[in-house]
Structure 1
Amino acid sequence: MKKTLFADISLLLVTFVWGATFVVVQNAIASLPPHSFNAVRFLLATLLLGGWLILFERKQLSHLNRKLLFSGVIMGVWLFVGYAFQTVGLLYTTSSKAGFITGLCAVMVPLLSIILLKQRPSKNAVIGVVIATVGLYMLTMTDMTALNKGDVLVFFCAIGFAMHIIFTGKYSSKYPSLLLTVIQIATVTICSFMFSLITEDYMTAFSPSVLFRSEVIFALLVTAVFATALAFFAQTNFQKFTTPTRVALIFAMEPVFAAATAYLWINERLSTSALIGCLLILAGMLFAELPMGKGFLLKKIKQRKKAV
């Protein structure tokens, strides 16, 4: 119980860091293109954790095999999908909207788990999706900016993050946390560099005049150290003590932190209808994750009787 509680608190802190960095990233990608930004961000995180692995946790390297490598790459690919769509999407939408749309991954996790694990959806999951969908409509269709390309891109990012949560839950308990984390963020680094070379003017992006701008340096350091290296090591390490559904519920707080920091830092405001939409999305996330219903209560009562 103590491990689960500590894991939940740690993951909540990770969620706060992710939510708080939406504005920081949005400011940075105005100068440094999205894939180039992610490439440098994840490269720095890979070097940081990779160096720690070699210097202090070298014994974990003895566990390296094809299965572990494959697991880390799968996690990294889905993580890349999430960050690629999210960072590009931030070019066209606001931090608050991006945070709430990203938070839809909390609803997607139980649904995608159902598909992958061949389990029937619960009533809560279905109702939660309906509520969140209505909220998404109010957030994106009735706001002044309406539905834009950025909102659609961030929606696909939510799918990527949902898949990452599912596979992290599947693999995190099987392999050493630090080694698995290094492999997945190294995968994101490679994918980001590849897409940067293909889709962006990397010669300009990686020039000193861009990389050494104050807002870019600040964003890279904050996101590489806190929102990437430490955050994903914490997720990989602590998710083994909880469930993907519980993690998704905790991550549902990310859009709340994103909207709060956007308001505090750049006074970014949402319209009344958009604010109601945000609240409905959050309600849908929570409803989809909370174990409610008579069947659940009866199951818990039976478990307690058996324990007694």
Structure 2
Amino acid sequence: MKMKNAVLLLLTSFIWGTAFVAQSLGMDYMGPFVFNGLRNIIAGVALLPVIWLLPRILKEEKKKASEKSGKDLVLGGLLCGLCLFAGSSLQQVGIQYTTVGKAGFIVTFYIVLVPLFGIFLGKKMGWKIWMSVGIALAGLYFLCLTETLTIGFGEFLTFLSAVVFSFHILVVDHFAPKVDGTKLACVQFFFCGLICVIPSVLFESFQLSMLKEGLIPLLYAAILSSGVGFTLQIVGQKDMNPAIASLILSLEATFSVLAGWVILGERLTAREKLGCLLMFGAILLVQLPEPKKVLRQEEQYDS
């Protein structure tokens, strides 16, 4: 496992956690499908100059893409875009029928679902990963859940979003080694944005005044949370065990709480402090060197 990948995913979780405020503010001016559609299309457009400039800045000669890699890029972008659309839509609708604390706890169930689904795909999951998942889940419980957990309509939709985001991580794990990460992110955003057009036309209204009033949170979420965050996720997940990647990405909840403490002056309770410590402890545990026998089993992620 490459330390660079872990750092990129850690930065991704930091961006997502601190961008939560912008996403919440955006919902004050427009519906979730309009917001997600515009957000993803803007993110895709923002990546176009990056795709053109980056190889020239790094002075790398791009090899001609084969017909197979081109198909992988389109197929991977379509599947990632579908997962992103379904996951974000279920989460946004579900949170309207439950509390933020419950939603934050339930949606991070992907840290358990990813290794479970990964077993059926032949991924190796050692004891250290499962122990880290358990510690992280306990940390998320103390961090996000302050009331009794009951299963209602909102909780059910939020859990479905966690299932979809689990598939998203596994789809990225499959396609990231085959194609350029930045291009895959760009195609993903355009597909997701175009899919959002259908429900936004059917169920929501849009006026230019909405765009004007919600422009700042929209651009923040589009360029930073989507454009930078999801691109870093795809690049960082390359050659990394998806279970470990999901653990690092789950730090989003921790960073959102810490951002509220640092930026907004919100006080951290003893319960939240314990949750943060458990989360960071789980990530440190999973980064410890494995015995050589286990490392040989996971060589496919480090080659």
Q: TM-score range, shorter-chain basis?
A: 0.7 to 0.9
- The TM-score normalised by the length of structure 1 is 0.75
* 2:178 corresponding residue in structure 1: 174
Answering whether residue 42 of structure 2 is matched by residue 44 of structure 1, we say yes
* 1:225 corresponding residue in structure 2: 223
Which string of whole-angstrom CA distances, capped at 9 and with x for unpartnered residues, describes residues 254-274 of structure 1? 11112233455667789887x
- Which amino acid is the alignment partner of residue 210 of structure 2? V
Distance 1:8 1:82 in 2: 23
* 1:306 corresponding residue in structure 2: none
Which string of whole-angstrom CA distances, capped at 9 and with x for unpartnered residues, describes residues 240-298 of structure 1? 1422122112112111112233455667789887x599579949x939x8389xxx647
* 1:188 corresponding residue in structure 2: 192
Which string of whole-angstrom CA distances, capped at 9 and with x for unpartnered residues, describes residues 66-96 of structure 1? 3331122112211222211222233344545
Equivalent runs, 1:76-155 vs 2, <5 Å: 76-117=81-122, 125=130, 128=133, 132=137, 143=147, 149-155=153-159
Distance 2:185 2:84 in 1: 11
The answer as to whether partners of 1:85 and 1:154 remain within 8 angstroms in 2 is yes
The answer as to whether partners of 2:36 and 2:193 remain within 8 angstroms in 1 is yes
The answer as to whether partners of 1:136 and 1:281 remain within 8 angstroms in 2 is no
The answer as to whether partners of 1:104 and 1:158 remain within 8 angstroms in 2 is yes
Distance 1:232 1:301 in 2: 28
The answer as to whether partners of 2:142 and 2:275 remain within 8 angstroms in 1 is no
Answering whether residue 293 of structure 2 is matched by residue 299 of structure 1, we say yes
The Cα of 1:42 is off from its aligned counterpart by: 0.3
Gaps of 5+ in 2: 57-61, 298-303
Distance 1:240 1:232 in 2: 13
Gaps of 5+ in 1: 304-308
Cα 1:302/1:137, change in 2 over 3 Å: closer
The answer as to whether partners of 2:135 and 2:279 remain within 8 angstroms in 1 is no
Distance 2:65 2:292 in 1: 46
The answer as to whether partners of 1:252 and 1:286 remain within 8 angstroms in 2 is no
Answering whether residue 6 of structure 2 is matched by residue 16 of structure 1, we say no
* 2:208 corresponding residue in structure 1: 208
The Cα of 1:115 is off from its aligned counterpart by: 2.5
Three-state SS of the structure 1 residue aligned to 2:35 is helix
The answer as to whether partners of 1:26 and 1:95 remain within 8 angstroms in 2 is no
Cα 1:280/1:171, change in 2 over 3 Å: same
* 1:163 corresponding residue in structure 2: 167
Three-state SS of the structure 2 residue aligned to 1:83 is helix
Three-state SS of the structure 2 residue aligned to 1:290 is helix
How many percent of aligned residue pairs carry the same amino acid?
26
Aligned residue-pair number: 290
Distance 1:120 1:300 in 2: 10
* 2:250 corresponding residue in structure 1: 252
The answer as to whether partners of 1:29 and 1:91 remain within 8 angstroms in 2 is no
Cα 1:155/1:85, change in 2 over 3 Å: same
- Which amino acid is the alignment partner of residue 165 of structure 1? I
- The TM-score normalised by the length of structure 2 is 0.77
- Which amino acid is the alignment partner of residue 201 of structure 1? E
- Which stretch shifts more, 234-243 or 173-182? 234-243
* 2:282 corresponding residue in structure 1: 286
The answer as to whether partners of 2:74 and 2:187 remain within 8 angstroms in 1 is yes
Three-state SS of the structure 1 residue aligned to 2:29 is coil
Three-state SS of the structure 2 residue aligned to 1:175 is coil
Distance 1:29 1:61 in 2: 42
